[in-house]
Structure 1
Amino acid sequence: MSNVKEKKDVDYAEQAVPEEGRKGFVTMFMIMLGFTFFSASMWVGQQLAAGENFWEFLGSLILGGCILGLYTGLLGYVGAKTGLSMDLLARKAFGEKGSYLSSAMISFTQIGWFGVGVAMFAIPVANQFLGDSKIAMWALIILAGGCMTASAYFGIESLTIISYIAVPAVAVLGTIAMVMAVAQGEGTIVDQFAVSSGTLSVVGGAGLVVGSFVSGGTATPNFTRFAKDAKTGTIATVVAFFIGNSLMFFFGAIAYIFVGGNDIFEVMLRLNLFYLAVLVLGLNIWTTNDNALYTSGLGLANIFHQKKKPMVLVAGIIGTLLSVWLYYNFCGWLNILNCTLPPVGIILVLSYFMNKKDYEDEHAPLATVNWFAVIGVIAGAVVANVLSWGIASINGMAVAALLYVIGQKVSK
C-alpha cells in the first residue's frame, strides 16, 4: 500500500462537485460579481450614454439586464443543480466528441478576452505613467498576465480570494469617483445625459447590454456548480449579473460624459486619483480575467484530455503573448464570436430539462456526437451574425433551441 496520498482536485474538473466542495451565498455572490467586473463592459456604457438620454439608458439596463439575468440564471440553476462544469454538461448535451465544439468556442473566446484585458491594463498605465515606453508596457503585460494566470491556475479557492479583495474595492472606489465626477458636472445626471443623447433606441441599447456579457455568461455553470444548492446558485447569479453589469455601464457612461472616454480609469485620472486609478483598473480586469482563463482551461482540458492546471498555463501564456495584437486586431472577431456562444448555452439548458434522468445518473452512456445540437449551434451562430433585426444573441438562441427540440423529438 502506498503511503503517498493523492492530492484532491478541489476544482473537480472531471466530476460533479460533491457536498464538501459546495459554498454559501456570500462566496458565490462575490465570485459571480467579480466575474462581471470587466472594463470592456464600460465600452457599452459609453455607447449607451452617447445614444440615449438618462431614462432610455435606465430602460436599456433594465430590459437587457432581465434578459441576461434569465439566460445566466437558467445556466446557473443547471450548474448548481448538477454540480457539473459547462464542459461536462456539454458532453451530455452534445455528445463526448460533440462537446469539443462548445469547449473550443468558449476557450478561444475567453483566451481572447483574457489577452484584451491584460492589454487594457498595461497599455494605458504605460502611456500615462511610464512615458509610453514599450519596454515598460511589456513588463506590465508579463507581470499582469502572470498574476492573473496564477490565480486561475490555483483554481476556485484563489478566484474566491481575489473576488473578496477586488469586488469591494472596485465597487466602492469606482462609485465614489463616479459621484465626484457627476458633482463636478453642470446640472443633474439627467441633464448631463441629455447633452450627449443620440438616436439609440431602448431595444437597441438592451441588445448592447445583452451582447456585452452573454458570451462570458455562457460559462456560468463553471462557477455555480460550487453553490450549496440550486437556489443559491441561481439567485447569486441573477443578482450579481444585474448589479455588476449595471455598475460597469454606469462607470462607462459617466466616463463618456465627464471626460469623453469609456473607462472609470480616465475619470479617476481627471480627479487626480492616480494611484487609485491604477488599483481599480487592475483589480477590475483581474476579477474577470482569472475567471475567463479558468474557463478556457476547463475547455482545453476537455478537448485534449489533460489536467486543468497545465491547460490554464498554456492558455495564459498564449493570451499574454498575443495581448497587444488581440487588443488592436481581435475585438471585432470577438464580437462575432459573442454571438456564437448563446446557442450553446440554451442547448445546455434545454438538454438538462428535457433529459433529467441522464443527468441524475453519472454512469449514463454518452453519445459520440449529438448532431442536432451541433447543427443547432452552427445555424444559431450564423443567424445571430447575419440577421440584422432584433437582438442577435436571442435570434441565435431561438434558432438553436428550435432545431435542438425538433432533433430530440425526432430521435425519440
Structure 2
Amino acid sequence: MNANAEQLTTVNIKTEDYAVQSVPQDQRRSLLNVSITSCAWIISLSTLFTGGALAAGLPFGKVIAAGFIGMLIVAVYGFFQGVMGAKYGVSTTVLARQAFGRQGAGLFGIMLAVTLGIGWFAWQVAFFGITMSEMFPGQWFAEPKVAMVWGGILMMLTAFIGYRGLAAISFIAVPLVGILSIWGIVAAVNSSGSWSALMDAVPVGDPITLFAGITIVVGNCALGAVVFPDITRFGKSPVKGGFGASSGYFLGGLFCIVAGAAMAIAANVPQFGSTPNIPAAMAKLGLGFFAFLILVFAQWTTNDNNLYSGALGLRNAVKVPKSILVVTMGIIGLIIALSGLENSFVPFLTMLGNFVPPIAGVMIADHWFVKPRLQGKSYQFGPGTTYAKWNIAALVATVGGGFVGSRLDFGIGPINAILIAFIGYSLLAFVLKKMSVSYELGVSIEERSGF
C-alpha cells in the first residue's frame, strides 16, 4: 500500500469514528473526558421529569436515596460493560461478536438501530419540540415542529461527527446542569424555609415506596449502561474507561434527578399527567433564557448518543458508512416525530427494550466466566479473527432473561433480566460443555477491512 492510500484509509477510519475497528491508543481520551461524555448521556428532560415524578410520591430525602441507590445499581453493571469496551477499544455490538457470534451481534445491532437510533430518537425529538413550545409559548422558534427540526439537526450533527462531537458538547452541557441542580436546591430550600423543612415536605401526589422509586430510576437509565462500550472504547485503560463512564453516568443521573425534584417542590406547579410540569417549574423559578439553554443542551447531549449508538449498532450489521447511517436514521426519526407517530411506537419499543438489558448479563458472563473458564479462550478483534456465526446459548439466555425478567412481580425488571441472563447463560454453557454439545454454530472470519 502506498503512502497516499494509507493516508486515505486513515482519513476514512477517522471519519467512521472507528465504528468497526479498535480505537488506537493514540486516539484514546482521559478519564475526565470519558466521565463528562457519559455524564452528559444521562442528562435529559426525561431524567429531570423522573426527579419530578419521585418528588410527587416521596419526601425529598427519599428522592435522594432512590436516586443514589438506583443510579449506583446501574453504574455497577455499567462498569463491567465499560471495562470491556476500553480493554479492546471496540463498540458494544463489535464486542458482542464474541458472546453472540457474528450474526447474533448483527441482530443486536439492528435492535439498537430500531430502538435507540430511530424509535427513541424520534420520541425525544418530539418531546423536545413539545417542551420548547410550553416553555416559550408564542415564540416562532419554539413552535413544536420548528423546534423539532432545528433540535433534530443539532442532535444529528454531533452524532455525525462522532465521539469528538459528543465530548465537545458534553463539556458545555454538564456545567449547565450542575448549575441548574444547585439553583434548584437553593430555590427549594428558600421556598420551604429551611433544609429540614424541605426534607420533610409532604409529597403532592399519591405516595410510593422507596423501592418503587428505585425501580423508576433504574427503568429510566438501564438501557444506556448496556452500551457503555460505545463511549469507553476511547478510554486510556480498562479501569479508567469503566470507572469514568460509570461515575459520570452516576453523578449526572443523580444531579438531574435531584434538580428535577427540587424544582418541582420549590415551584409547586400543576402536574403534567402524573408528573410535576418541569418546564413550568423552570419558568416559575425565573430561569428564563438559562432554562432555554438547559433544555437545548440536555436533549442534545442525550439524543445524539441515542442516534450515535444506533448507528454504531447498525454499522456492525451492514457495510454502509456510519456517517450515512446517522443521517438516514436521523431523518427517519425526524419524519416520525413531525408526523406525530412517535407515541404509536412506544409499546413496541418498550417490548423490544426488555431484551436489551439481558444482553449485558450475557456479555459479562461470557467475558469473565464462559470464555476464559469453560472454553480456555480470550477475546481478540481485528482482521483474521474467527467468530462463531451464532451462539445459541447466548440467544436463549437473552430471550429468557428478557421474557422472565419483565414478568416477575418482584425486584427491578431490567436488573432481574440481567441477572437471569447472566446465570442462565453460565449454566447453559456449563451443562452443554459437560454434555459435549456445541452451542456455537458456523464460522465467520473478520475481513481485512475490519468489518
Is the pair's TM-score, using the shorter chain for normalization, greater than 0.5?
yes
1:228 to 236, 242, 248: 236
2:355 to 334, 337, 340: 340
- CA deviations over 1:161-195 (Å, ceiling 9, x no partner): 11111111222134324422441245532132x24
Give the whole-Å Cα distance in 2 for the aligned partners of 1:61 and 1:239: 14
- Look up the SS of the partner of 2:222 in the other structure: helix
Letter in 2 for 1:375: V
Instruction: Note closer, same or farther for the CA distance 1:386–1:195 as it changes in structure 2 (3 Å cut).
Output: closer
Following superposition of structure 1 onto structure 2, how do residues 237-276 of structure 1 map, counting pairs within 5 Å?
237-257=245-265, 258=267, 259-261=269-271, 262=276, 264-276=278-290
- CA deviations over 1:333-386 (Å, ceiling 9, x no partner): 444444321101111111111325431464441111111111111111111222
Tell whether 2:144 aligns with 1:137: yes
1:161 to 153, 168, 191: 168
Tell whether 2:401 aligns with 1:397: no
| Structure 1, 352-361 or 159-168: larger mean CA deviation | 352-361
Letter in 2 for 1:346: G
Give the whole-Å Cα distance in 2 for the aligned partners of 1:342 and 1:400: 9
2:391 to 351, 370, 373: 370
Letter in 2 for 1:190: M
Give the whole-Å Cα distance in 2 for the aligned partners of 1:64 and 1:237: 16
Instruction: Note closer, same or farther for the CA distance 1:62–1:42 as it changes in structure 2 (3 Å cut).
Output: same
Would you say the 8 A contact 1:21–1:226 is kept in 2? yes
Tell whether 2:173 aligns with 1:172: no
Give the whole-Å Cα distance in 2 for the aligned partners of 1:148 and 1:60: 30
Q: Which residue of 2 aligns with 1:147?
A: 154
Would you say the 8 A contact 1:53–1:197 is kept in 2? no
Q: Which residue of 1 aligns with 2:119?
A: 112
Query: Which is greater in Rg?
Result: 2
Letter in 2 for 1:404: Y
1:76 shift after superposition = 0.8
Give the whole-Å Cα distance in 2 for the aligned partners of 1:359 and 1:300: 22
RMSD over equivalenced CA pairs, Å: 2.3
Q: Which residue of 2 aligns with 1:311?
A: 325
- CA deviations over 1:99-132 (Å, ceiling 9, x no partner): 1232122222213222222222211222443538
Q: TM-score, normalised by structure 1?
A: 0.92
Give the whole-Å Cα distance in 2 for the aligned partners of 1:273 and 1:61: 24
Give the whole-Å Cα distance in 1 for the aligned partners of 2:252 and 2:231: 16
Would you say the 8 A contact 1:297–1:308 is kept in 2? yes
Following superposition of structure 1 onto structure 2, how do residues 273-284 of structure 1 map, counting pairs within 5 Å?
273-284=287-298
- CA deviations over 1:297-328 (Å, ceiling 9, x no partner): 01111222222111111111111111253554
Give the whole-Å Cα distance in 1 for the aligned partners of 2:178 and 2:169: 14
1:77 to 80, 83, 96: 83
Would you say the 8 A contact 1:87–1:302 is kept in 2? yes
- Look up the SS of the partner of 1:267 in the other structure: helix
1:73 shift after superposition = 0.8
Aligned residues: 411
Give the whole-Å Cα distance in 2 for the aligned partners of 1:88 and 1:343: 17
1:33 shift after superposition = 0.6
| Structure 1, 162-171 or 251-260: larger mean CA deviation | 251-260
- CA deviations over 1:382-406 (Å, ceiling 9, x no partner): 1122222211112211221223112
Would you say the 8 A contact 2:135–2:283 is kept in 1? no
- CA deviations over 1:127-179 (Å, ceiling 9, x no partner): 44353879932222111111110110011111111111111122213432442
1:407 shift after superposition = 2.9
Instruction: Note closer, same or farther for the CA distance 1:169–1:256 as it changes in structure 2 (3 Å cut).
Output: closer
Give the whole-Å Cα distance in 1 for the aligned partners of 2:189 and 2:341: 33
Q: Which residue of 2 aligns with 1:9?
A: 13
Give unpaired runs (5+ residues) of structure 1: none
| Structure 1, 309-318 or 108-117: larger mean CA deviation | 108-117
- CA deviations over 1:18-70 (Å, ceiling 9, x no partner): 11111111111110111110111223222221222233323322321221111
Give the whole-Å Cα distance in 2 for the aligned partners of 1:264 and 1:179: 16
2:400 to 347, 357, 379: 379
1:189 to 198, 212, 220: 198
1:291 shift after superposition = 1.0
Would you say the 8 A contact 2:159–2:304 is kept in 1? yes
- Look up the SS of the partner of 1:175 in the other structure: helix
| Structure 1, 282-291 or 183-192: larger mean CA deviation | 183-192
Percent identity over the alignment is 30
Would you say the 8 A contact 1:46–1:252 is kept in 2? yes
Letter in 2 for 1:352: H
Give the whole-Å Cα distance in 2 for the aligned partners of 1:135 and 1:237: 33
